[in-house]
Every structure is written in C-alpha cells, then in structure tokens.
Amino acid sequence: MSPIFVAIDTPDLARAKALANRTRAHVGGLKLGLEFFCAHGQAGVRELAEIGLPIFLDLKLHDIPNTVAKAVQALSGLAPAILTVHASGGRAMLEDAKAAASPHTKVVAVTMLTSLDASDLAATGVTGSAEAQVLRLTDLAHEAGIDGIVCSGAEVAAARKAWPKGFFVVPGVRPADGVIGDQKRVVTPRAALDAGASILVIGRPITQAEDPDAAARAIGATL
Ligand SMILES: O=c1ccn([C@@H]2O[C@H](COP(=O)(O)O)[C@@H](O)[C@H]2O)c(=O)[nH]1
C-alpha cells in the first residue's frame, strides 16, 4: 500500500472526485481538509469514500474539550481512518477526542504547522526551535493516549525516537524540483520516509500537475 495520502484541497465536488479517481492507483488514501469539508460536509466525505480508499479527515479540531469531543462524536459515523486535532488544545482535549472517536479512527495531533518557521513561532510567544516545540507537543500527545502526531519531515526522526510506536503524518512534502508555495519546512518524499514518516501528505505537487496521475506515479517511484 502506498504511504501517500493525496490532499484533495478543492471546494469543487466534481473536481475532487476526478482527482481522486485519476490518482487512486498510485496513492494509499485521500486526505480531505477544511476547504472540501466546509463546502460539502459529511455527505461530500461519504461520496469520496465510495471510491474505496481510506479517508483522512484533516479538520484540525481545536476548542475546549467538551466541544471537540462532541464534534468528534458527530463525525464518528464516518469512521475516517485518520482524524486530526491540534495538540496545543491541551491534554484533556486530546484525551476526550480519542475517547469520542470511532475505534477505527486514528486520532493524530498537529504539532507545528509546516507553513511556520522558528520566527513565526516566536511571534506567537513560543521561544526555541521548531524541533523543541514539536517534541514538547509529541510528548503531550503520547501521554494523552492518542495515536500519533503531524509534523514536518525535519522533525520526524526526533519525534519517532521519542515515541517509537507512534504514527507519524508528514505534510510539507515536495519532490526535489517542486514548487514550495506557502510551506516553510519541507523535505522530499524519500527523505520523510527515511526519517520515520508513517504516511506522507502530498497535495499540490500532484493535484496541480498537468497530469495528476503521472505526477502521483512519478512521486511513488521515488519511494
Ligand atoms: O502542518 C500541516 C498540517 C496539515 N497540512 C495539510 O497538508 C496538505 C499539504 O498540501 P500541499 O499542497 O502538499 O502543500 C494541505 O491540505 C494542508 O492543509 C499541512 O500542509 N501542514
């Protein structure tokens, strides 16, 4: 099974289905995020799930524990393979999210968005390196009993060392010659896997390619 989850980031249902169908032979799952979910909700997720690939619901939930738990419960009928919350929501929020999730769902916590660097972190009042922040939140997620974390490929080796049995999701993945866009902490797909990623999230390098099928196949061939 391919470790690539293709990020289907579009509000256009027909385009989402076309992208998923075109790339399905070369990816291991579909990642649906806020852009798609805000446009199509649970009905849209169910339509994409009909394609037959595991669904990663990347909603990055972040609120008080009761609100997140109720939201996770409301999603549990979808039983996504993976669901994201923000680690900075705190231990009680993470524990309650896990308790509310379907037993078939891995709950993973976003540590530090891959679109941020150390200076962005400092601007939020957090001093220290990106790696230190990721490790702090990795420990919190581990202690809260959830399944894993989201981090960049630059920190995944250190995070896996701290939590050898954790599940590590790595976005911010770019082929060596890829356009970087708004991502700041990027690595190649091969480097992310070598460093310990469990799965790779790849969006625009596939979905904005002239031929998404060929792009997904070409990235897969580098793994
Ligand atoms: O830290 C994070 C967490 C989630 N994402 C999501 O991954 C994809 C990446 O898309 P690209 O087009 O490959 O940049 C996107 O859906 C993000 O919401 C992330 O990039 N970083």
Query: What ipTM score was computed for the predicted complex, to two decimals?
Result: 0.99
The predicted pLDDT at position 178 comes to 79
The predicted pLDDT at position 218 comes to 97
* Ligand 1 binding pocket mutation candidate from 5, 6, 55, 201 (most atoms within 8 A of CB): 201
Binding residues for substrate: 9, 31, 58-67, 114, 174, 183, 203-204
Q: Look at residue 129 and give its three-state secondary structure.
A: coil
* 60 belongs to the catalytic site: yes
> Which atom of ligand 1 is nearest to 111's Cα?
1
The predicted pLDDT at position 140 comes to 98
The predicted pLDDT at position 204 comes to 97
Whole-prediction pTM? 0.98
Is residue 55 within 8 A of residue 28, CB to CB? The reply is: no
Tell me, in angstroms, the distance from the centre of ligand 1 to residue 154's CA. 15
Which amino acid residue places its CA nearest to atom 5 of ligand 1? 171
* Ligand 1 binding pocket mutation candidate from 114, 117, 150 (most atoms within 8 A of CB): 114
The predicted pLDDT at position 177 comes to 82
Contacts of 162 (CB under 8 A, 6+ apart): 135, 138, 139, 142
> What is the distance between the alpha carbons of residues 170 and 132, in angstroms, rounded to a whole number?
17
Tell me, in angstroms, the distance from the centre of ligand 1 to residue 125's CA. 23
> What is the distance between the alpha carbons of residues 146 and 34, in angstroms, rounded to a whole number?
21
Helices (H), the chain: 13-23, 34-49, 65-75, 91-100, 118-123, 130-144, 156-162, 189-194, 204-207, 212-221
196 lines ligand 1 (CB under 6 A): no
Tell me, in angstroms, the distance from the centre of ligand 1 to residue 171's CA. 5
Name which of 90, 89, 57 is nearest 74 in CA terms.
57
Was domain 4-220 assigned CATH 3.20.20.70?
A: yes
Q: Which one-letter amino acid corresponds to residue 48?
A: L
Domain boundaries, the chain: 4-220
The tens-digit pLDDT sequence of the chain (223 residues) is 999 999 999 999 999 999 999 999 999 999 999 999 999 999 999 999 999 999 999 999 999 999 999 999 999 999 999 999 999 999 999 999 999 999 999 999 999 999 999 999 999 999 999 999 999 999 999 999 999 999 999 999 999 999 999 999 999 999 988 789 999 999 999 999 999 999 999 999 999 999 999 999 999 999 9
Which amino acid residue places its CA nearest to atom 3 of ligand 1? 113
